[in-house]
Amino acid sequence: MLSCCVAILPAIPIAYLLVRAGGSGSDAWRSTLESDLVAIAARSLALSLLVAIGTIAIAVPYAFLVVRSDLPARRIWALVGALPLVVPSYVGAFALLGAFGPRGMLRELLAPLGVERLPEIYGFGGALVVLVLFTYPYVLLLVAASWRRIDTSLERAARGMGRTSWQAFRSATLPQLRSSIVAGSLLAALYALGDFGVVSILRVDTFTRQIYLRYGALFDREGAAILGLVLCAITFGVLAIERRVLRGDQRGARRRIAARDDREPVRLGRWRWPALAFVTTVALFSLVIPLAVLSWWLASLGADGLWADRIAATAGAAGASLVASGLGAGAAAVLALPVAILLVRAPGRLPSIIETIVYGGYALPGLVAALGLTYFATRTAFWLYQSLTLLVVAYVIRFLPQAVGATRAALERIDPALESAARGLGQGMFGSFRRVTLPLAGPGIAAGAMLVFLTVMKELPATLVLRPTGFESLATEIWNQTSVSDYQDAALPALVLVALSAIPLWLLVIRPGSGVDTARGSTAPPGDSGAGD
């Protein structure tokens, strides 16, 4: 019931698309669909799937290194690995272009050495790399969170029976990680599908770019809505692939949660150096270079007497961003819970429809979601229109799957028998939920809320349409600065955005006792907490 109510929210923009596209004549459908849309759809789908694969390829080994190995300073690396999440992908694309573009900084540096050509950053390959670099933390955060909680005794047992480490990993550990790998890579894949900034900056003709072209240059709402519906269909296709191919046998993947174990880290030995090279390279491209370019731009502004204004505007925007993101994260975490519980505990046709709708809202470009809310709010709840509340609703619609994915991955690792046991010991439904389920799923829920928080910090298109008049967030401030001039003026709000986002990430990833981190291994394992053993 509750989850049906939650699913109404993401259904709003989809219903809006049906209203808009349904209201247009058959001519509009024909002229919109007859152009080379098949090629564009194929390109979008390919980009999205390759982004998913790329993020897994980086995030899973990375998660192993920071969770299970004796990599030096691994808690620092855990934070560093998650940090690219706080770089808005459009800012990242611009910064990498500043470094690696045809006349970028790197070329200037290498030119004296006789290097004439760098690999082309524009186009499909460049967009793929940039999207992977700034979305792999979605996978990393979820996979690392579940890796810290899984039962390593199985893997030890497998090795004890003569399997190699790799075989033990594949047969014992991977199945337990599968749901978080799928949840994370799905987030990355759908993010790539709905992203506009990277593909437009790096010139890849994808579906989202076509939708923006309809609005932006053709003033064609009907055409945009028709394309929006096709994008929904593609999203549903990605979801179907995810269900059929990747998820496999769910029940087989569900394992009881970790018994007490000593968590002896895997010794890397001489592999330590390639491992360090790997994490360093990832950090270099996804974090160090973009931040260095931004800092360089900031420094190049020089002392021009405008700093007081800049700092005041940025400080105000920072406050607004924190409030809006906090509200969005809290609301999404709470609303994700009933949906995730339904998906895990009572899978079936209705829950999978609800899931599809929830993810549908996520892959739609922000402008579409915002216009859908505009349409319904101005007609049914005008007092809500352009209020902070409606803005938070928009954030929930856009990013709920991040919270659902994380919460669901956490719930899937809880043995329902624990809840039954609690009920058998006299706890009511609510009691067993509160004393067993929530504590066990807590880290997953927190990780989901954090993902939403960090994504809302960067959100732009829906914020522009739905914000209360006068509301300026860091993202709108970046937009204000870049809509006219070069990226230099956006460097300050962009750097503040990164710095502010890093704080909650630090709390989540590094701080001892924060739940996600069990690196100290001194706290009681969660399996003991509520079940009363």
The interface with another protein within residues 488-517 (CB under 8 A) comprises 513-516
Q: For residue 115, give the amino acid letter.
A: V
The minimum distance between CB 128 and another protein, in angstroms, equals 16
Q: Please identify, using beta-carbon distances, which residue of 80 and 199 lies nearer to another protein.
A: 199
CA distances from 323 to 306, 320, 530 (A): 27, 5, 33
Closer to another protein by Cβ: residue 52 or 391: 391
Q: Which is nearest to 364 in space by CA: 33, 126, 16, 43?
A: 16
String of contacts with another protein for each residue 17-56, x by CB under 8 A: --------------x---xx--------------------
432 lies in the site for another protein, by CB under 8 A: no
The separation between CA 167 and the C-alpha centre of its own chain, rounded to angstroms, equals: 30
Contact between 485 and another protein (CB under 8 A)? yes
* Minimal distance, residue 190 CB to another protein, in Å: 22
Q: What is the DSSP string of 334-388?
A: HHHHHHHHHHHHS-SHHHHHHHHHHHHHHHS-HHHHHHHHHHHHHHH-GGGTTSH
186 vs 333, beta carbon nearer another protein: 333
Comparing CB distances to another protein, the nearer of 401 and 443 is 443
Nearer to another protein, 66 or 466 (CB): 466
Q: What whole-number distance in Å separates Cα of residue 64 and Cα of residue 461?
A: 36
Residue 439 is encoded by which pair of tokens?
A: 């504590």
10 Å Cβ neighbour count for 315? 10
Residues between 221 and 250 with contacts to another protein, criterion CB under 8 A: 221, 224
Nearest Cα to 193, choosing from 247, 139, 236, 142?
236
For the segment 283-342, give every residue that binds another protein (CB under 8 A): 323, 326-327, 329-331, 333-334
The 3-state secondary structure of 200-265, one letter per residue: HHCCCCCHHHHHHHHHHCCCCHHHHHHHHHHHHHHHHHHHHHHHHHHHCCHHHHCCCCCCCCCCCC
Q: Per-residue string for binding with another protein, 99-118, x by CB under 8 A?
A: --xxx---------------
CB of 246 to another protein, least distance (A): 28
Q: Closest distance between another protein and the C-beta of residue 231, in Å? A: 17
Q: Which stretch binds another protein (CB under 8 A): 51-59, 158-166, 270-278, 522-530?
A: 522-530
Nearer to another protein, 26 or 483 (CB): 483
CB atoms within 10 A of CB 419: 21
Residue 92 binds to another protein (criterion: CB under 8 A): no
Q: Which is nearer to another protein, 420 or 523 (CB)?
A: 523
Among 73, 109, 115, 218, the residue binding another protein under the rule CB under 8 A is 218
- Residue 532 as a binder of another protein (CB under 8 A): the answer is no
Which of 100, 115, 215, 82 has its CA nearest to residue 517? Answer: 82
Task: Name 266's bridge partners.
Answer: 69
Among 353, 438, 499, 503, binds another protein (CB under 8 A): 438
Q: Which of 127, 145, 158, 201 binds another protein (CB under 8 A)?
A: 201
Which residue type does 102 have? P
Helix/strand/coil for 266: strand
# chain residues binding another protein, by CB under 8 A: 76
Task: Identify residues 353-412 at the interface with another protein (CB under 8 A).
Answer: 367, 370-371, 374-375, 378-379, 382-389, 392
CB of 374 to another protein, least distance (A): 4
Query: By C-beta, is 118 or 174 nearer to another protein?
Result: 118
Residues 443-462 that bind another protein (CB under 8 A): 443, 445-446, 449, 461
Nearer to another protein, 40 or 158 (CB): 40
Burial of 305 (0-12, 13-18, 19+ CB in 10 A): exposed
Q: Quote the Cα angle for 329-330-332, to 5°.
A: 65
